[in-house]
Amino acid sequence: MDAITTIIKVPDQHPCFAGHFPGNPIVPGALLMQWVLQALREQLAGCQISGFSSMKFTGSLKPGDSCSLKFQINAGSEKVRLSCRSETGVICKGVVLLGPPVEAG
């Protein structure tokens, strides 16, 4: 099993913070997942990602926070285990599914 770790720094100013949530800004889960996909594509050039499985959010990221993304990859597997941690603990964990995108039906 190979492991890849990358760091994400949450910008102090991001348009999402205006409405999510006024007075207590946190990174929306959808935006965090977008950053996860971008990081994974940078690490695994040419990979196709079909979705997520078993995602569990247990923490939050605020403006200026940093987090560590750890991808655990098994050779030949179509699943990549993901964990995202900050100084305060686990933010989320789950599985990224590799392969052609699945059409919603």
Which single residue is written with the structure tokens 């990358």? 6
Q: Is the pTM of this model over 0.85?
A: yes
Which amino acid is present at 68?
S
CATH number of the domain at 87, please. 3.10.129.10
**Amino acid 104: pLDDT:** 59
pLDDT, one tens digit per residue, over 24-61 is 999 999 999 999 999 999 988 888 899 999 999 999 99
Domain residues for the domain of 70 are 2-98
How far, in Å, CA of 105 to CA of 102, rounded? 9
**What's the CA angle centered on 53, arms 33 and 89, to 5 degrees?**
55
How far, in Å, CA of 87 to CA of 82, rounded? 17
Does 103 fall in a domain? no
Does 105 fall in a domain? no
The total number of structural domains in the chain stands at 1
Does 36 fall in a domain? yes
pLDDT, one tens digit per residue, over 86-95 is 999 999 999 9
Bridge partners (DSSP) listed for residue 8: 67
Nearest CA-CA partner of 73 in 19, 4, 24, 6: 4
Does 14 fall in a domain? yes
**Amino acid 63: pLDDT:** 96
